[in-house]
Amino acid sequence: MVEGITAVGDKYQTGEFFLPDLAMGAEAFKAGIKILEPELFKLRKERESVGVIVLGTVAGDIHSLGKDIVATLLTAGGFEVHDVGVDVPIEEFTESVRTFKSGILGMSALMSTTIGRQRDVTKALKVEGLRGKVKVLIGGAATSDLWRKEIEADGWAATAVEGVKKAKQLLGVE
């Protein structure tokens, strides 16, 4: 499924597919996830958790497909994932990190107009004394490794598969 939705995304980027094609691919992916989710949760319960991650899309951004793919792959990879959704305010990110005792906070931002919120969340984690307790992993079309360095995040991933690898690296389990 990941290969399929990646191919759809690539074709959209090159202009071979259009927004309706992208939307149909996303809906197909989400339908497949609904079928696989119960099995993924069974697997997670049968083995020890790799770590706890809070995952969400920053305030002002309602894009969820990339985040949903990452959440699915993280769950399959043994993580306990707390997906706080899209358009997530700073306070909800910090409270979720505190509540779930998260080792990683994953933030997505698709639009260049919303990536600044990733910096705002990272600053809020410092103010609340949480920054030393949680690793920050960012992703999304508008992000880059340069942006990661600028906002002092711990990791950046360009793809969902890279996101899982980076999360494991950040927790020292790979």
Enter the pTM of the model: 0.81
Residue 105: which H helix or E strand, with range?
strand 104-108
The pLDDT of residue 64 is above 80: yes
The pLDDT of residue 159 is above 80: yes
- Averaged pLDDT score across all residues of the chain: 90
Alpha-carbon span 122 to 105, nearest angstrom: 10
Instruction: Give me the pLDDT at residue 47, please.
Output: 64
Q: DSSP readout, 115-157? A: THHHHHHHHHHHHTT-GGG-EEEEESTT--HHHHHHHT-SEEE
What are the residue boundaries of the structural domains of the chain, listed by start?
1-47, 49-170
pLDDT digits (tens, 9 = 90+) for 4-56: 877 887 787 788 988 788 778 878 887 887 888 787 767 656 667 889 999 99
* CATH numeric code, 49-170: 3.40.50.280
103-124 mean pLDDT: 96
Alpha-carbon span 128 to 169, nearest angstrom: 25
Q: How confident is the model at residue 100 (pLDDT cuts 50, 70, 90)?
A: very high
Instruction: Give me the pLDDT at residue 44, please.
Output: 59
In one letter, which amino acid is 159?
Answer: T
119-147 mean pLDDT: 96
Which residues contact residue 111 at a Cβ distance below 8 angstroms, ignoring those fewer than 6 apart?
A: 60, 61, 63, 141, 142
Q: How confident is the model at residue 60 (pLDDT cuts 50, 70, 90)?
A: very high
C-beta separation of 131 from 125 below 8 A: yes
